[in-house]
Amino acid sequence: AQSVTQLDSQVPVFEEAPVELRCNYSSSVSVYLFWYVQYPNQGLQLLLKYLSGSTLVKGINGFEAEFNKSQTSFHLRKPSVHISDTAEYFCAVSDSANFGNEKLTFGTGTRLTIIP
């Protein structure tokens, strides 16, 4: 069985500062990895995904994430945040050999708050 750990439930960051949101996963097989973002009073939307190939993945709104197999991590980064980045961010993992949304496991989320 796979699992996802987002160690930080809340991350406050000053505007224009860099941010890293941490995600670690546990799985006995190869995985696909995702970051979803949830803006206030909205549903989740896909930020970026890692399926294969380059371990550095670029997403929307200037975010990127790096897949590190040895550390079983998929941390999300942005070099300079804006007020509009205030949202909750969810990491998700799926077994690549049997990938299907029915097998997608979400983390508990990290609430990113941007301080003006």
- For residue 68, give the H/E element and its range: strand 64-68
Count Cα atoms within 13 angstroms, Cβ side, for 42: 12
Q: Is 52 in the site for other proteins (CB under 8 A)?
A: no
| CA-based nearest residue to 61, from 22, 40, 87 | 87
Give CA 70 to chain center in angstroms.
18
**CA angle centred on 113, ends 111 and 116, rounded to 5°:** 175
Q: Is 109 in the site for other proteins (CB under 8 A)?
A: yes
Number of residues located near other proteins, criterion CB under 8 A: 20
Which of 28, 52, 70, 101 forms a contact with other proteins (CB under 8 A)?
101
Of the listed pieces 22-30, 58-66, 69-77, 99-107, which binds other proteins according to CB under 8 A? 99-107
Site string for other proteins, 9-48 (x = CB under 8 A): x------------------------x-x----xxxxxx--
| Residues contributing to the site for other proteins (CB under 8 A) | 9, 34, 36, 41-46, 49, 90, 99-102, 104, 106-109
